[in-house]
Chain A
Amino acid sequence: MMNKLIFGRYIPGDSLIHRLDPRAKLVASFYFIGIIFLANNWQSYLFLGLFTLFAIMLSKVDLSFFIRGVRPLIWLISFTVILQMLFTRGGTLYWSWGIFSLSEYGIQNGLFIFCRFILIIFMSTLLTLTTPPLSMSDAIESLLGPFRVVHVPVHEIALMLSIALRFVPTLMDETEKIMNAQRARGVDFGEGNLIQKVKAVVPLLIPLFVSSFNRAEDLATAMEARGYRGGEGRSKYRLLKWSGRDTAVIIAFAAVTVVLVFLRS
């Protein structure tokens, strides 16, 4: 079940994109999501699409991964697109029935929203597919660094994040194991009516919570035993290094913005 999830997964590789500083990738992805909203005609969307494709090609990750990443969200996308199409008026009217209508602007808006969704998903999938979770949390720690001045507990946030990320697969395995054990005891997951379905989750959730508590306790003990006393005065093992190509990426995104502003109508 969970094996099918591609979104949020890391695929080891050695492409240009893989080697980028995670901070550059993180900033660039968020920035990209921001500038998508600048696009408002087909030229600008085409340009962004080509740019995304170029980035995907640079990463040397198979395109099929990205398409699979979209799949779980396809219902949300279709729902939004269809609503947009049916409720926007303006331009030539092709068909209408009561409050529903199909107009030129509606179709255009629907298509744009579709493109937006796809581009956002592709870009964020590109980020997660090419960045190991731990580098991601390093990047977040580093980027949040300035907020320390206003007493944001940056180290604690980063620590929680990296522990959480580390335990996602472990918890997934655990979930699968407990699920199997309960299925062997005659539990049907995902069958029957809503109430039965919710009830079937109890024998899964309680053991998961209990084991999380136990795990947290063990981990805290092990950390203290190894001399962990909080973030103050700690050195870092994994150092992030900003290099020329990271600067190049930022410049490229700035250039994209300029082109986009020029293309938009």
Chain B
Amino acid sequence: MDIRFEKVSYVYQPNTPFEQRALVDIDLAIEEGSYTALVGHTGSGKSTLLQHLNALLKPTDGQVTIGDRVITPTTDNKNLKPVRKKVGIVFQFPEAQLFEETVAKDIAFGPQNFGVKEEEALKLAAEMLNLVGLDESFLERSPFELSGGQMRRVAIAGVLAMQPEVLVLDEPTAGLDPAGRKEMMEIFWRLHKDRNMTIVLVTHLMDDVANFANYVYVLEKGQVVNSGTPQAVFQNVEWLKEKQLGVPAASAFAEKMQEKGARFDQLPLTETELADWIIREAGGTVHDE
């Protein structure tokens, strides 16, 4: 399922002194099966944009096409449920959305809202819990006695249980420890690879973008200021520094090497690429796994 933005603008509290333009003439496309990253400063409009992806917000101008549904400023608020089922959003700090007595019930809550029978939903809950790396013993526990990281997993399982076609992640690893972060990102990668899930990732971590995404949109002040493959976007290190966005660690390191005289055809984005380059330079051969 594709998601397309055509000339989308969004204004908060229009016609009041608190009026605030959050999005300006956004054109963007999220192809089916892609792994798209959205990066930009705090306040660049990422979170506003993200709420357009499943019609939580409707554009004040332009239109958003989600699969076969077209959302325009005049779209009625009714009958948006099918859209929300297809596009699952994991908001920032999703552990704040837990409320049921048991983990199982909380995960089953989403599917049940979309008409899945209780029994089936609970079965889904068990399955999803495994998927996010927790075992069955958690099913009957209260979500409020879990650790922060475990709560996060339960919340994400709750979104996955709706079996969305598009998974939107708003800084899913914020506040997690390095191991948890890595594990989370790998879970999403597996969903993308094995189940061909379309993923939209909002993040400040350029390494995640370099490692996983196949397309990047750079937002600034509510506008798309750059887009392309991570390879293309991260080549222009100067520009990114100017925008205070940073580059992946491997690229930054390669840039330093460049200053000392190393010559790259293209700046490497990941450690693997950088290591490959070093081995080749040293005259060795790179063995692909």
Contact = CB atoms under 8 A, between A and B. Distances in A.
Contacts of A183: 56, 84
A211 to B, nearest CB: 6
Contact of A185 (B17, B78, B96, B113): B113
B51 A210 contact: no
B114 A211 contact: no
A11 B13 CA distance: 15
A184 B114 contact: no
Contact of A178 (B97, B110, B113): B97
Contact of B51 (A11, A180, A187): A180
Contact of B91 (A184, A188, A191, A210): A184
A14 B86 CA distance: 50
A187 B114 CA distance: 9
Interface in B34-67: 51, 54, 56
Contacts of A207: 96-99
A181 interface: yes
Contacts of A177: 91-92, 96
A144 to B, nearest CB: 32
Which range holds the interface residue count of chain A?
20 to 34
Nearest to A183: B56
A174 interface: yes
Given A3-B13, A11-B17, A203-B109, A185 B97 contact: yes
Tell me which of A178, A185, A206 has the highest count of chain B C-beta atoms within 10 A of its own C-beta.
A185
Interface in B231-271: none
A180 B91 contact: yes
A207 B109 CA distance: 14
Interface in A5-21: 11
Interface string A1-39: 001000000010000000000000000000000000000
Contacts of A108: none
Nearest to A174: B96
A188 B81 contact: yes
Contacts of A203: 97, 99, 109
Given A177-B91, A206-B99, A207-B96, A184 B84 contact: yes
Contacts of B81: 186, 188
Contacts of A188: 81
A181 B96 contact: yes
Interface in A154-191: 174, 177-178, 180-188, 191
Given A180-B51, A207-B99, 12 more contacts: A3-B13, A11-B17, A174-B96, A177-B92, A181-B91, A184-B56, A186-B81, A191-B78, A202-B99, A203-B97, A207-B96, A211-B96
Interface of A: 3, 11, 62, 174, 177-178, 180-188, 191, 202-203, 206-207, 210-211
12 contacts: A3-B12, A177-B91, A180-B56, A181-B91, A181-B97, A183-B84, A185-B158, A185-B159, A202-B99, A203-B97, A203-B109, A211-B96
Interface of B: 12-13, 16-18, 51, 54, 56, 78, 81, 84-85, 88-89, 91-92, 94, 96-99, 109-110, 113-114, 144, 158-159, 162
A-B complex: 10 closest residue pairs judged by Cβ atoms? A186-B113, A206-B99, A181-B97, A185-B110, A184-B89, A181-B91, A3-B13, A203-B99, A186-B114, A207-B99
